[in-house]
Amino acid sequence: MRIPWTTAARWGAYGFFTGWFGLSVLQQCDKPDLGRKVDPTSMAIPNWRFFAPTPARHDYNVLYRERLTDGTVTSWREQEIALARNLRQIMWHPNRRLEKALFDVASELFRLSRDIKDTSRIKLTVPYLSLLNYVSHKVDHHEGAVEVQFLIANSCGHDETVEPRMLFLSEWHALTGRKELVA
């Protein structure tokens, strides 16, 4: 009995798409090594996790306080990064980049703080210096502020029943030269 070539082609296509589906499912697992061996460029086998292996379930908040010339320390103030959303931002939202940058910088700072054993070297990392630059120059400071300290906390966004947690506290840093940069 001879099988027509169209039937063989159909069964070949079924086998191909079943195998492709199976590899796609394996690619979604925590260890997608098999998918990478078959498709090292990840162009043919999709990864439906989109942006991260584990999606973000919290927001990072940047808080800061100042030490004034008389030595008093101000209370913590949050630097609002996420603005209220409107309908237009479904299509165009360039300010979202600042939120994403903060999330990436904070994530990298936490990763580096786990990897670097000498805590004095944390101050020399790009994420730390980026946050320090932001807090030193992009926020409104009290008139007599001479030093600034920043804190990164995480919260569950709009769920106010979950208490925010402090994740990282910087050292105090002088605000020298701030007047020249702001003016």
What DSSP string runs through the chain?
A: -PPPHHHHHHHHHHHHHHHHHHHHHHHTSS-THHHHHH-TTSSSS--TTTT-SS---SEEEEEEEEEETTS-BPPPEEE--SPPP-GGGGT--TTHHHHHHHHHHHHHHHHHHHH-S-GGGGGGSHHHHHHHHHHHHSS---TTEEEEEEEEEEE-TT-TTSPPEEEEEPPPEE-TTHHHHH-
Specify whether 163 is located in the same domain as 97.
yes
Name the token pair of 133. 């630059």
Categorize the per-residue pLDDT at 66 as very low, low, confident or very high, splitting at 50, 70 and 90. Answer: very high
Answer yes or no: pTM beyond 0.75: no
Specify whether 82 is located in the same domain as 29.
no
Highest mean pLDDT among 42-46, 153-157, 164-168: 164-168
Between residues 54 and 122, the one the model is more confident about: 122
Specify whether 122 is located in the same domain as 162.
yes
Specify whether 99 is located in the same domain as 171.
yes
Specify whether 85 is located in the same domain as 6.
no
Specify whether 90 is located in the same domain as 177.
yes
Specify whether 79 is located in the same domain as 11.
no
- Given this model, what pLDDT does residue 180 score? 41
Specify whether 39 is located in the same domain as 78.
no
Residue 146 has pLDDT above 80, yes or no: yes
Specify whether 48 is located in the same domain as 63.
no
Q: Which range of residues forms the domain containing residue 1? A: 1-52
CA-closest candidate to residue 152, choices 96, 76, 72, 53: 76
Specify whether 64 is located in the same domain as 141.
yes
- Given this model, what pLDDT does residue 182 score? 39
